[in-house]
């Protein structure tokens, strides 16, 4: 009878956790697609050749047992901050006695100065919004 009144909090918590994991996986997959398309540079140097850094958004990092999931998790966190690239990228691997590896990836999320001649010059968050405004006929190309 208790569960009929909404008192089964364990089940609700498990359901919310499962939903969050699924959403996180979708975001990581999106970050993977953007990185593989060459639209999100990750470099070990402290600058990207040909681009000037306008704003430093801060440190982004991710840790885990899978190297790809860790790397793209870090990229996803940077994109969620509005970053256009990661500079100063570094990674560490810790080897455990049981044979498993633990990966740590970190870098600095940055935004570039706006260049109207470059197609992907806007942050990823604004590109979608700007393109939808153009499709509706509301956007003015001279605004950005």
Q: Is the pLDDT of residue 18 over 70?
A: no
Q: Which class is 12-130 in CATH? A: alpha beta
Going by pLDDT thresholds of 50, 70 and 90, the confidence category of residue 144 is very low
Q: Which is more confident, 100 or 14?
A: 100
Residues present in the chain in total: 144
Rg (alpha carbons) of the chain, rounded to whole number:
20
Q: What is the pLDDT of residues 54-106, one digit of tens each?
A: 999 999 999 999 999 999 999 999 999 999 999 999 999 999 999 999 999 99
Distance CA(83)–CA(64), nearest Å, equals 22
Distance CA(100)–CA(96), nearest Å, equals 5
The one-character DSSP state at 2 is G
Alpha-helical (H) ranges within the chain are 9-36, 67-81, 124-136
DSSP reduced 3-state for 4: helix
**Of 143, 93, 86, whose CA–CA distance to 112 is shortest?**
86
pTM: 0.67
């Amino acid at each position: 009878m208790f569960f009929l009144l909404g008192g089964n909090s364990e089940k609700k918590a498990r359901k919310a956790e499962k939903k969050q994991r699924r959403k996180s996986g979708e975001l990581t997959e999106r970050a993977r697609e953007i990185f593989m398309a060459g639209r999100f540079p990750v470099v070990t140097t402290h600058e990207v050749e040909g681009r000037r850094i306008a704003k430093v958004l801060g440190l982004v990092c991710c840790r885990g047992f899978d190297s790809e999931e860790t790397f793209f998790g870090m990229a996803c966190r940077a994109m969620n901050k509005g970053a256009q690239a990661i500079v100063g990228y570094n990674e560490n691997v810790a080897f455990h006695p049981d044979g498993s590896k633990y990966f740590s990836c970190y870098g600095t999320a940055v935004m570039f100065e706006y260049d109207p001649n470059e197609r992907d010059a806007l942050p990823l968050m604004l590109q979608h919004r700007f393109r939808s405004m153009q499709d509706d006929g509301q956007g003015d190309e001279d605004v950005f």
